[in-house]
């Protein structure tokens, strides 16, 4: 398994085409808008060698060796539980998105989907995955298409979706783009998957495959984040870590046959999308509570700096923040503990609880953020730059406005997480990542046994006989 230093060094060997603010970047690793996100991914490598190694690593039956948790298959409920637990650890250690979860959840969903598709495609995928595990690679799980006019199907607007545009000996040619690509510029490979279930006549869009991030024709453009110009400076808020999203363009990229896992397999692609959604929605029960821990800690620190930590209303707000964090975490763990085995050997999360977990994540972080802003006070939006705090002409004059160094930096951290660059994983990703809120409600309506609920109500109301407890009168 790679160390954090080995991971960072491996990125320098790529010939990645990355554009930032209208310029192509020759060395993305050291760019101030890229490096914080690389550091966050590096944390996933570091924890596999430290005190959290039991959670951050696992024994792979594929290669009969220890592997990083983020390349591992979910072969038991314990794997799913440990996944959520290490995600919380990393969310707390970095205070942001550490970017490997889509790839991890994607390989498990594809394991199931290729198993259902054919023995040949499954064997091809497993062989590729063995290489990923041996090299301990970071994967960009690429699912979300631009989609354009949502009222139109992919064939009516093909440029809004990744699709196969050509076939030649030994592989396929794909074209299109994927958006909101978390950590793409920090990855070794792209694991490309369809972003929705597809219908007959849409086979060219039903493509799942893999390629190096620097494959010919792959181009990346870094997305903007609020206040991202502060990264690397005194007002960054999060001093070392950050998230990242890119648009990934596939400009007639040739994918060799050995890296094509699904091609026109409509049923298997539907399985892939559904399985991935469950895995990833449960994942939010890990990473987000870890982020919440950081914001709760910053809020508590500010309460202490302001001398109000013992005030009853302050204590009550901190308890409410912790209660909401544990609610999300508990449902993520429950979805994992109540998992069931698929015939392929992968354990799948409970679909109801996984979707309840993500539904909570579309709401509760906003209340946690509101309480953090309440406790912090107006200075999170009006404080001068921390560079002014140490300027020889201003430091003494500004001392009353800034207060202690701890207060000033905690204010910047709260600002970063609630509406700065850190608000992307803390707020917007919570709303739309792994599917927007209505997507979870659709699954819940489809999955819940409504008739069973009605039937039990009828029994208890005295309308029907009790067949479950017939001996009690």
- 430 belongs to the catalytic site: no
The two tokens of residue 275 are: 């399985």
DSSP state for residue 453 in the 8-state scheme: H
Strands (E), 14-130: 18-20, 23-24, 57-60, 65-68
Question: Is residue 287 flagged as an active site residue?
Answer: yes
Instruction: Kindly report the backbone phi and psi dihedral angles of residue 283, in degrees, each rounded to the nearest multiple of 5, phi listed first.
Output: -60, -30
Inter-residue contact 410 to 298 (CB < 8 Å): yes
Cβ-in-10-Å burial (0-12, 13-18, 19+) of 190 comes to buried
Look-up of token digits 């790839």: 103
Q: Which two tokens stand for residue 314?
A: 């302050």
Distances 219 to 9, 36, 54, 158, 161 between C-alpha atoms, Å = 21, 21, 37, 19, 16
Q: Confirm whether 418 is a catalytic residue.
A: no
Annotated catalytic residue, options 44, 72, 96, 97: 97
Helix, strand, coil share of the chain (percent; to 5): 55, 15, 30
Reply yes or no on whether 284 is catalytic. Answer: yes
Question: Which residue out of 269, 287, 357, 430 is catalytically annotated?
Answer: 287
Question: Catalytic pick from 94, 96, 182, 271?
Answer: 182
Contact yes or no for 106/172 (Cβ under 8 A) = no
- Would you state the structure tokens that stand for residue 122, as one six-digit string? 């499954």
Active site annotation includes 182: yes
Catalytic residue among 116, 137, 202, 245: 245
376 neighbors 411 (Cβ within 8 angstroms)? yes
- Please work out, in degrees rounded to the nearest 5, the angle formed at the alpha carbon of residue 237 by the alpha carbons of 308 and 320: 40
User: How far apart (Å, rounded) are the C-alpha atoms in residues 182 and 179?
Assistant: 9
* Residue 116 near residue 268 (C-beta atoms within 8 A): yes
Q: Which of 122, 180, 280, 329 is catalytic?
A: 280
Give the residue from 120, 100, 121 showing the smallest Cα distance to 47: 100
Could you tell me the two tokens for 213? Answer: 């991030």
Q: Report the alpha-carbon distance of residue 20 to residue 28 in Å, rounded.
A: 9
Is there a catalytic annotation at residue 280?
Answer: yes
Strands (E), 237-314: 245-256, 260-263
Torsion over CA: 208, 214, 220, 224 (sign): positive
Residue from 284, 329, 348, 362 carrying the catalytic annotation? 284
Separation of alpha carbons 381 and 292, rounded Å: 20
Report CA-CA distances (Å) from 220 to 314, 378, 411, 444: 45, 38, 33, 36
Q: What is the residue whose two structure tokens read 């009828």?
A: 458
CA pair distance 407, 121, nearest whole angstrom:
56
Q: Which residues are catalytic?
A: 97, 101, 182, 245, 280, 284, 287, 429
């Amino acid at each position: 398994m790679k160390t954090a230093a080995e991971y960072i060094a491996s990125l320098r060997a790529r010939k990645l085409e990355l554009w930032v603010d209208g310029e192509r970047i020759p060395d993305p690793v050291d760019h101030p808008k890229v490096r914080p996100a690389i550091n966050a991914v590096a944390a996933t490598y570091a924890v596999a060698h430290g005190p959290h190694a039991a959670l951050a690593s696992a024994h792979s039956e594929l290669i009969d060796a220890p592997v990083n948790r983020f390349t591992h298959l979910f072969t038991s409920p314990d794997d799913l539980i440990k996944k959520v637990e290490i995600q919380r650890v990393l969310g707390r250690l970095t205070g942001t998105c550490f970017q490997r979860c889509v790839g991890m959840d994607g390989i498990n969903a594809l394991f199931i989907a290729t198993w259902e598709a054919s023995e040949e495609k499954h064997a091809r995928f497993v062989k590729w995955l063995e290489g990923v595990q041996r090299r301990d690679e970071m994967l960009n799980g690429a699912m979300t298409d631009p989609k354009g006019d949502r009222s139109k199907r992919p064939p009516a607007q093909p440029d809004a979706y990744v699709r196969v545009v050509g076939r030649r000996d030994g592989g396929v040619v794909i074209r299109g783009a994927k958006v909101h690509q978390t950590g793409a510029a920090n990855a070794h490979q792209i694991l490309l998957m369809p972003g929705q279930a597809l219908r007959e006549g849409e086979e060219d869009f039903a493509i799942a495959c893999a390629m190096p991030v620097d494959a010919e024709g792959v181009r990346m453009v870094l997305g903007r984040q609020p206040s991202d110009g502060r990264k690397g400076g005194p007002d960054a808020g999060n001093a070392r870590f950050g998230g990242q999203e890119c648009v990934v363009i596939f400009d007639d990229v040739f994918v060799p046959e050995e890296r094509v896992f699904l091609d026109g397999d409509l049923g298997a692609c539907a399985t892939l999308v559904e399985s991935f959604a469950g895995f990833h929605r449960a994942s939010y029960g890990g990473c987000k509570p870890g982020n919440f821990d950081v914001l709760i800690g910053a809020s508590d620190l500010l309460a202490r700096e302001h001398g109000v930590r013992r005030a009853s209303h302050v204590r009550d707000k901190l308890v409410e923040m912790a209660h909401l964090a544990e609610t999300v975490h508990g449902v993520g763990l429950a979805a994992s503990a109540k998992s069931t085995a698929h015939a392929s050997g992968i354990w799948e999360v409970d679909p109801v609880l996984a979707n309840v977990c993500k539904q909570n994540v579309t709401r509760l972080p906003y209340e946690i953020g509101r309480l953090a802003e309440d406790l912090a006070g107006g200075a999170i939006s009006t404080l001068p730059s921390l560079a002014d705090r140490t300027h020889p002409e201003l430091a003494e004059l500004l001392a009353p406005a800034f207060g202690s160094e701890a207060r000033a930096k905690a204010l910047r951290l709260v600002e970063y997480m609630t509406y700065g660059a850190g608000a992307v994983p803390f707020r917007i990703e919570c709303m739309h990542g792994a599917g927007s809120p209505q997507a979870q409600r659709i699954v819940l309506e489809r999955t819940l046994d409504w008739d069973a609920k009605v039937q039990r109500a009828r029994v208890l109301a005295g309308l029907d006989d009790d067949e479950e407890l017939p001996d009690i009168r």
